[in-house]
Structure 1
Amino acid sequence: MKRILLVRHGESEWNAIRRLQGQADINLSQRGEGQARALRPMIATYKPDLVLTSDLMRASHTASLLGYPDATRETRLREHNVGDWTGAEIAQLMEEQPEAYANWRAGTFAPDNGELWEDFRSRVASVIDMARSSQAETILMVCHGGVIRAALHATLQLPPARIIPVGPASLTILAFPKEEPRLEVFNATIFAPVLDAPD
């Protein structure tokens, strides 16, 4: 049975200070590097046939630390483009624009110069479709929290408002039996679950 393993990158330097990154190319924090290394044995048990990574360095660095330095860079796995909110402090957005922030999290609002949720979901869905049509049985995608939420929306019709933020260096697994896609694992880490991870 085909499976897609979705791994969110480890904590980045901006995650640590709770700033929105979007497609800004921010690297892992030292803590994030440790998180990625700690996840490596879990991922190795699945023996992925195909490994893809977002080309943003927080994801590609995570892929390397997981043992896949030659993972194929895939630009469609980039994070949701948050436009003029790039670099904004999440707490400040929640205080000054609470309705806009809540609507953005729900996929019904895009900041100026940002990516509409439907466009983002379609972008992510195209990578999922490509993976499903490949010869590989187990596909690892090292990506971003928004990408994982978009994949769940596209595959399982779970709208983003119903999905908690995805924790750093966590594993989510989509399986594709003959009947219909199913969620096998969500937000799994070797540590305690992170339920309030910054986007």
Structure 2
Amino acid sequence: MYLTILRHGETDWNATGRIQGQQDVALNQRGIQQAQAAAAYLKTQQVDALYSSDLRRALESAQPLSQQWQLKIRPLPELREWKLGILEGLLRTEAAQQYPQVYPVYDEQQADGIIPGGETIRQRYQRAINCIEQLSKHHPNEHILIVTHGGILDNWYRYVHQIPLEQARDWVLHNAGISQFQKIGQQWQTLSWSQTEHLQEIGSMAYW
């Protein structure tokens, strides 16, 4: 089976460095254009099912894909971004000043660090991997497309490449980047990672 994962398009909070977590933020104008460009880039491929995080920025990114293939968007809360509790809605600089004991959990991506009102990276990893593996079992020999968030993509990359959560990330994650995978038997292979050819005229923010 084949799996395509699209990271949602840009939001104003991405652009200003405001911590989103599971806050329901809409795409900005560039994010809408990015989503449209991603759909156009993928139009020659056949997709059998379309899933998305149930957060607005992901659902809005999935909309052009839904229209293109006449596929229903199936929202799943398991595909949401990292729940960041008291840090959500703050600029990174504000979070560092207001919560100096907590902010390093976010900034250093500590796998088991606790943020009040949030979840750990390991908890996010477990829900994300369980969800995507279940989807792969429901769609054997099909091509499914998932629209989700940078944190989920990071977890999935680690899972496929057997990289520990404690290891610092050295791969990039682009807004509206397209990544593709193939599952043969029980083994996953990365076919492409965070493609941005479709965004050359629009541009895309990236974070490491």
Q: TM-score, normalised by structure 2?
A: 0.83
How far 1:91 moved relative to its partner? 4.2
For residue 4 of structure 2, what is the aligned residue in structure 1? 5
How far 1:159 moved relative to its partner? 3.6
For residue 134 of structure 1, what is the aligned residue in structure 2? 138
Question: Is the CA contact (8 Å cut-off) linking 1:33 and 1:65 kept in structure 2?
Answer: no
Question: Is the CA contact (8 Å cut-off) linking 2:10 and 2:205 kept in structure 1?
Answer: no
> Equivalent residues in 2 for 1:102-121 (5 A)?
102-103=107-108, 105-121=109-125
For residue 66 of structure 1, what is the aligned residue in structure 2? 65
Partners of 2:106 and 2:44 in 1: how far apart?
A: 38
**RMSD over equivalenced CA pairs, Å:** 2.4
Q: 5+ residue gaps in structure 1?
A: none
Q: 5+ residue gaps in structure 2?
A: none
Q: Deviations over 1:116-166 (max 9, x none)?
A: 111111100111111221235111000111111112223332245224351
> Equivalent residues in 2 for 1:24-173 (5 A)?
24-68=23-67, 70-93=72-95, 97=100, 99-103=104-108, 105-136=109-140, 137-160=142-165, 161-173=168-180
Q: 1:196/1:37 Cα in 2 relative to 1: closer, same or farther (>3 Å)?
A: closer
Partners of 1:31 and 1:111 in 2: how far apart?
A: 31
Structure 2 SS opposite 1:119: helix
Structure 1 SS opposite 2:45: coil
Question: Is the CA contact (8 Å cut-off) linking 1:78 and 1:143 kept in structure 2?
Answer: yes
How far 1:46 moved relative to its partner? 2.4
Pick the structure with greater CA Rg: 2
